[in-house]
Structure 1
Amino acid sequence: MFDYNEYIYEVYVHKSFSNAAKSLFVSQPSLSNIVKKVEDDLGVVLFDRKSNPIQLTEAGKIYIDAIEKVMELEKITSENLKKLTDSKQNIFTLCGSTYFCTQVFPEIIEKYSDIDPELKIAIIEIGTGEIDDFLKFNLADLGVCVENLNPKLFNSKVWFNEELILAVPKSNSINDDLLEFALSYEDITNLDNVSQEKCVDLKLFQNENFIFLKEGNDLHDRAMNICYEYGFRPNILIYMDQLQTSYDIAKSGKGIVFIRDRIVKQDKFNDSLLYYKLKSDNAKRSVNLFYLKNKVFSDKEKEFIKYLKSFQL
C-alpha cells in the first residue's frame, strides 16, 4: 500500500505535480502515472486536481496521515537499530525536575560510573509538563515524575513512594500549641511508623500564608485538595515554579509549604522549620520512571536502568 509513499507525500507537500516531480528528479508524466496507479489500486482519489493549488481529498487526508505515521515509525526504528549496533554508544539521557537533577541523579551517576565508566549519562532539567514531549521526541531516554503519562505511549515503573508533609517556619507562633505534633528527624525518616494521632489538624493553619507551586503541578493540586478536605481555601502568598525554591523561602520564614519528605531527609541539619504529618490520602504519592513503549535500549543501558530501579534513596 505504501510502496510509493515518497511520491505521494511530495505531491502533498508541494501541492503541485510539476514541483514535486522536480524535487523527485522524475518527469511529471511519470509522477502522474505513479499517483494514478496508487489511486487505482486503492480505489480512491487522493488529490483534487481541479483545485489550485492541488488539495487532498478526504481519502487523501487519511492516506497522508497514515504515511506520516509510517515515516515516524521508520525514523524511530532506524534510531533504535542504530543504537543497538553503534559501538561508541549514544549518551543515555535522564530528564526530570530540579529536585531530581540536583538532589538525586548526580549521586546515582557518580556511583554508577564506578560500575560502568564507559556509559555516558546526561541530565536534562525540565518542568514536569515537558517530560512527555522530551521522551516522545527522543530528546531524553528516561523520565522521572509523579504525573501519569499516557499509558498508550509510555511504559512506567514505580520507582519509590513518598509522602508530603507540612513545613512551618519555627518563628511562627502557631507552633507554640502544636509542639506535641511536630515531627522529629527520626519520625520523618520513618513516616509509616508515625501514628495517625500525631497528624496535625490542618484547619488550624487556615489563616496563615502558604507558598504553593503553580497550577498544573501535581503537588499544587494535592495541596489544594488537602486544604479542601479540612474545609478551607489556603491564603497563597506566592506561587513558585520549583519546590526546592518554595522550601528555601519557607526556611527564610516567609510562609508555610507542603514539601516532599525526601527533601527534608536530605536537609537534616536545618533548624528553621517544624514539620507536621498530614492525615490525607492526597499526601501520599508514587514517583515513576517513564520511557517510550517502542524504545529499544542497549545492554549497557538496560543494566543502568536495572541499577536505577534498585537504588536505595
Structure 2
Amino acid sequence: MICLINKNVINMRNLILHHLEAIIESGSVIGACRRLFLSQPALSQYIKRLEAEYGIVIFDRSVSPWKLTEEGEHLLETQRKIQQLDEECRQFFRDRKGLKSGTVRIGSTAYRTATILNPILSVYKKQYPNVIVRIEEGTTQEVAEFADNGKVDCSFVISSMVPSSLESVEIYSEKVLVGLPPNHPYTKRASGEASLEEKFPKVDFKELDGTPFIIMKRGQIFNQYYYDLCQKHRVPPQVVLETQSILTVPALISANVGAALVPSTIADDCMARNVRLFSLGNDVPQNNVSLVWKQGKYQSYALTEFIKTAKEIFLPAFTHQ
C-alpha cells in the first residue's frame, strides 16, 4: 500500500503545533500574537475552530496565564509526535540518497554550549557544512526533558539526572568547587595554612556558615548541590542572588557579592579574577556529563556523526581520568 501525504495537511499540523507552543511559551494570547504576527481576534478564532474540530476545550481560560486542559496536552503531544515522525521520515530518505545534510537539534545549558558544545561544533561543522544545527537552551532539568519528549535529538545532561528512557554515553567530568570572594575571612586565614602543592585546599562547609551565596536558579544541578550541602551540615541557606548562567558567577564572586559553587571547568576564569577556590572533598559528587538521546528513535546520519564526533573529542580524556 502506498500512502500519499498531502503537503497542505502537514503544513496545517505544523501550524497547530506552532500556534499552541507560541501561546504556552508566551504565557498569553497577546504575547503569542506578537510572536506569530497575528491579530488577537484571528488567533482566538483559530483556537476556537480547533476546539470545534476536535470537540474539546484546549485551554483553561479561567486562569492566567492560560493552561492546557488534559485534552489540550494530549493534542499538543500528538502534534509533536506527528512532526517528529515526519522529520524522521524525510531524514531517512535523505540518508538513503547519501546526502550529508539534514538537521541536528541539540539540548544544552548556556554553560555546556560554551564549554562542551562549541569544541564539538568547530570540528563537526567543518566535516558536515550542509547540516543545520539547532540549539535549544534550557536548565539542566529542561534539556533532559527536551530529549525525552522529542523536542531535540540529543542533549547534554548531568549523568545523575538521565531518565531510564534515554540512551547515554558519559563524555565529560568536572569537580565541584566553592569559590570565595577575595575579602572573605576564610580566604585570608587559609592563605597561610595551604601548602604550595594544594591547588584547591579542602574546606569544611560548616566553616562557611553565615556566608552569603550566589546560587543557580531552580532546575539547575548546582542549585540542588547547594541546598543538599546546607541540609547535610545543618547550615541555614543564605542566598544573596540567583542567576541563570554559571558563566556570570566568577565576576560576581570577584565583586564580593557572595560565595558560590562552581565547576572546575571555569577554574581558570575564577583565579584570573582573584577568586579563591576550595575543594569540598566527598561532600558533593563529581559532575559527570552525558550525551543522551531517545531509545528506539531513528538516528539520522547527521545525528550519528555528531555523537561520534563528541566521543572522539571528549572520551579519550574522560576515560583516562
Which TM class, normalised by the smaller chain length?
A: 0.5 to 0.7
Q: Does 1:151 align with 2:164?
A: yes
Partners in 1 of 2:197 and 2:90 — Cα distance? 49
Q: Deviations over 1:222-261 (max 9, x none)?
A: 1222233333123211122222223331122210000011
**Equivalent residue number for residue 87 of structure 2:** 79
TM-score by length of structure 1 reads 0.65
1:217 Cα deviation (Å)? 2.5
* Residue correspondence of structure 1 range 1-313 to structure 2 within 5 A: 76-86=84-94, 87=99, 89-146=101-158, 148-152=161-165, 154-179=166-191, 187=199, 198-265=201-268, 267=269, 270-312=272-314
The change in CA–CA distance for 1:270 and 1:112 in structure 2 (over 3 A counts) is same
Q: CA deviation at 1:264?
A: 1.6
**Structure 1 residues 225 and 107, CA, compared in 2 at 3 Å: closer, same or farther?**
same
**Kindly tell me: are residues 165 and 78 of structure 1, through their superposed partners in 2, closer, same or farther at Cα, counting changes over 3 Å?**
same
1:158 and 1:287 in contact (8 A); partners too: yes
Write out the 4+ residue segments of structure 1 that deviate beyond 4 Å after TM superposition.
Answer: 68-78, 180-186
Distance 2:92 2:133 in 1: 17
Q: Which of the two has higher C-alpha Rg?
A: 1
Distance 1:226 1:217 in 2: 15
Distance in 2, matches of 1:184 and 1:238, equals 33
Relative to structure 1, is the Cα distance of residues 185 and 96 closer, same or farther in structure 2, using a 3 angstrom cutoff?
farther
For this pair of structures, how many residues does the alignment match?
Answer: 241
Deviation at 1:70, TM superposition (A): 9.5
Distance 1:93 1:280 in 2: 36
TM-score, L = length of structure 2: 0.64
Change (3 A) 1:137 1:230: closer
For 2:131, what is the secondary structure of its paired residue?
coil
- For residues 165-198 of structure 1, give each alpha carbon's deviation from its aligned partner in whole angstroms, at most 9, with x where no partner exists: 010111223311112566989946xxxxxxxxx4
Query: 1:136 Cα deviation (Å)?
Result: 4.1
Deviations 1:260-279 (A, max 9, x none): 111224x2761320000112
User: Contact 2:104/2:303 (CA < 8 Å) preserved in 1?
Assistant: yes
CA distance in 2, matches of 1:187, 1:140: 39
Q: Please tell me the residue identity of whatever aligns with 2:182.
A: K
Asked whether the 8 Å contact 2:174–2:265 carries over to 1, the reply is yes
Structure 2: gaps of 5 or more residues = 1-54, 57-73
The answer for the alignment partner of 1:194 in structure 2 is none
How large is the RMSD of aligned CA atoms in angstroms? 3.4
* CA 71–167 in structure 1, closer or farther in 2 if over 3 Å, else same: closer
In the alignment, what sits opposite 1:7? none
How many percent of aligned residue pairs carry the same amino acid? 17
Shift in Å, 1:126: 1.9
Deviation string 1:147-172 (CA, Å, 9 cap, x unpaired) is 524313x2122222221101011122
Cα deviation, 1:37-78, whole Å, max 9, x if unaligned, reads xxxxxxxxxxxxxxxxx99xxxxxxxxxx9x99998776544
**Cα gap change, 1:299 to 1:70, in 2 (>3 Å):** same
Q: Distance in 1 between matches of 2:90 and 2:197?
A: 49
CA 1:158/1:185 → structure 2, altered by over 3 Å: closer, same or farther? farther
Unaligned runs of 5+ in 1: 1-53, 56-65, 189-197
